[in-house]
Structure 1
């Protein structure tokens, strides 16, 4: 970036420049590309294919569609209800060792990990050989445009997710709405619509607080 220095001229009359006309900025005060920086300000046009993030960084945001073929479990992240080993989704599914994992349509995009790149939060359903259908949340970190699993949380058995939204500013939090039940309710019914707020503390997603409303199907 070119910078313009502003100085004072000593005219020999006590430091005051009387009647002198300030020189016009020369062509050398223009930055490459023709931007005039003589007023100390820089103007720049954002890249059309990049999302500008707080802190001055630019990175392409993740998309929900990328998660359909993303890695889901690696050496640093183990899903609360998942099997051992590395897991990668293929067209939104993974199956092995009697376990089926399915990516759910609910998804939110925004900064969850504190770097200048929009991450993704998605919901998964883990089905085992029995009647259990365990729902969970996963945060994928944006690693130069590639989703990398960074944190996860379990929502419990038969607790379908309704929606996910991410608030990057002023706090990096995910608001998740899902259906659940009271401690004394049968496992086969849902009686509560819960709105819970999560924050990433790798490798887990920590619930900060939640609010419950009665729910009837």
Structure 2
């Protein structure tokens, strides 16, 4: 049977319509449309890359006094360091905030002087090296009260953390804060027996102190005779 011209025309129109629909479908796939099938890098696909933190950004900052990289305190730093504040009261000193200026403080008839005896080491239980030094408190009378002060290392800054009194006219000979034992300091100073007058020193005492903020507690001591 022969195809009539009308049937051929109808089939041709159907073929053209099918090709047009196929072309539209391909065009939609190329543009992506933001759908799940979008190819990476084509319009509609997310072009943002995940931002990676720079080296060190993900680390939490160290707390003050815990960073050994800040460096050890020095005895010279103490000459202009705070000595007394809300968290620490120095024995034999007046109330209120006190800070050294070139190793000295004076007020209310009291003079406090930083002594040359000083030790550097970790005595507060963190990785940073702290400082322990002797101080002398002179009142309006004849008293010359010696004491010990521990400065905690907070990011390289000395902060007064603990203290102890050694008594009247008991000058310090040496301070060693390098003990491997935790929080311990060895102090050598001159003193006397309980029944002896305060005007003399007859004993060379070696005492071990433990730093337990805000106190420095004596653990033990040994005595040897001393003759000026």
TM range (shorter): 0.7 to 0.9
For 1:107, the equivalent position in structure 2 comes to 118
Structure 1 residue 169 displacement after superposition:
1.9
Equivalent residue, structure 2, for 1:10:
none
Q: Structure 1 residues 57, 146: closer, same or farther in 2, change over 3 A? A: closer
Q: 1:150 aligns with which of 158, 161, 164?
A: 161
Structure 1: distance between partners of 2:181 and 2:90: 28
Question: After superposition, where does 1:47-66 map in structure 2 within 5 Å?
Answer: 57-66=68-77
- Structure 1: runs of 5+ lacking an equivalent: 1-54
Aligned to 1:95: 106
Return the TM-score normalized by structure 2. Answer: 0.70
The answer to whether the Cα contact below 8 Å between 1:177 and 1:194 also exists between their aligned partners in 2 is yes
Q: Distance in 1 between matches of 2:87 and 2:146?
A: 20
TM-score w.r.t. structure 1 length?
0.73
Whether the 8 Å contact between 1:151 and 1:205 is mirrored in structure 2 is yes
Decide which structure has the larger Cα Rg and report it. Answer: 2
User: How many equivalent pairs are there?
Assistant: 163
Which residue of 81, 88, 96 maps to 1:85? 96
Deviation of 1:173 after TM superposition, in Å, equals 1.1
Q: 1:175 and 2:186 equivalent?
A: yes
Distance 1:152 1:56 in 2: 23
Q: CA deviation at 1:59?
A: 3.0
- Between structures 1 and 2, the one with greater helix share: 2
Whole-Å Cα distance in 2 between the matches of residues 118 and 85 of structure 1? 27
Partner residue, 1:120: 131
**Secondary structure class of the residue paired with 1:58:** helix
Deviations 1:13-57 (Å, cap 9, x if unpaired)? xxxxxxxxxxxxxxxxxxxxxxxxxxxxxxxxxxxxxxxxxx994
